[in-house]
Amino acid sequence: MSTARTALFAIVLGALPALAQDWSHWQWTDWPQWLGPHRNGISPETGLFGKVPSFRESWRVHAGQGSSGLSVVGDRLYTMYIHSGEEYAVCLDARNGEVIWRTRTTGNDPSEPRGGRSPRATPTVDGKMVYVLSTRGRLLALDSQFGTQRWSRNIVRDFDSVRPNRIFAASPLVNRNLVLIEAGGKSGHSLMAFDKISGETAWTTGSDERGHSSPIIATIGQTRQAVFFTGFGLIAVAPQKGRVLWQYPYITSQSTNVVTPVFIPPNRFFISSSSDMGGSLVEVTATDKGYEVAEVWRNKNMRNHAATSNYY
């Protein structure tokens, strides 16, 4: 695991200086969260590869064990990994790989959940704040410059959340003034939103078993929606109030839906899961009475369980 992380930092990031002579047409865009600025795995950047580039390694660091992705804002990289048996949120200098700050997100836990105990969620950078969700269900807001904790919420302790067998893995989603997460808590605490400045609870809803998928924002018709892929299926809510708009059941053998929903404008979603379900294309239609949800197709050719597909 750590070897793969080192290779990622050294090769992918190290490739950029080799292109310096052709950067004049490159329109730089930050990558501040899981799957990029729009959570669709697509960068709006243009002009990076005007011709076939040559790559060279710029720097290499040992980053520790982890499955968290990279968020990039300016010349800073944000990620999470295990160091000396403890979990950290980390900020590195993109120019040389040096650690700018490292903040512990949870203590050493000797247990070994399914799939290992390394962090899965990717930090979400929003202005001067970084939001991270630890493997044990601790949601933290950190100062993006210094790593200082602004606030934290313990999802398991405070909201009776059942920790999933593959630990917490969903990356926090920022929508306007709120941070949205899938908590998996009982009695109406499955989905939650917190004020991004104070950490106060804004709303809670649902009782679905927790999955491992990160939510997205999609607009259907004129309505902006937060779409979650829980252990029980797709569920869309009004992001500012938490009102449930529509649902689509998708229950797998172990309720382990992992991939991020793929929005296919104007009103379709692709999801996939383990071999007993496969992949499915779902169509959501706005009506005078709400929404109608229909399955367009389902097959087991596209049954990627952990890797999110891209629509391009």
Of 87-101, 106-120, 163-177, the range with the highest mean pLDDT is: 87-101
Asked if residues 88 and 5 have their Cβ atoms less than 8 Å apart, the reply is: no
In this structure, what are the phi and psi dihedrals at residue 15, rounded to the nearest 5 degrees? Answer: -70, -25
Domain count, the chain: 1
Cβ-based neighbours of 298, under 8 Å, separated by 6 or more:
277, 278, 279, 280, 281
- Helix (H) or strand (E) holding 156, with range, is helix 155-159
Find the mean pLDDT for residues 31-60.
84
What pLDDT, in 10s, does the model give residues 49-59?
666 667 788 88
Judge whether 300 lies within some domain: yes
Judge whether 138 lies within some domain: no
Q: Cα angle vertex 78, ends 151, 256, to 5°?
A: 80
Beta bridge partners of 295: 282
Q: In whole angstroms, how far apart are CA 79 and each of 42, 70, 171?
A: 19, 5, 11
Judge whether 193 lies within some domain: no
Judge whether 34 lies within some domain: no
pLDDT confidence band for 6 (50 / 70 / 90): very low
Residue range(s) defining the domain that contains residue 254: 213-312
Judge whether 1 lies within some domain: no
The more confidently predicted of residues 8 and 265 is 265
Nearest to 185 by CA among 208, 215, 151: 208
Bond into 266 cis (ω within 30): yes
Asked if residues 31 and 72 have their Cβ atoms less than 8 Å apart, the reply is: yes
Burial bucket for residue 84 (CB in 10 Å: 0-12, 13-18, 19+): exposed
Asked if residues 225 and 217 have their Cβ atoms less than 8 Å apart, the reply is: yes
What pLDDT score does 108 carry? 52
Judge whether 60 lies within some domain: no
pTM above 0.85, yes or no: yes
Judge whether 272 lies within some domain: yes
Judge whether 283 lies within some domain: yes
Q: Give the integer Cα–Cα distance in Å for 291 and 149.
A: 41
The more confidently predicted of residues 27 and 170 is 170
Nearest to 205 by CA among 237, 166, 249: 237
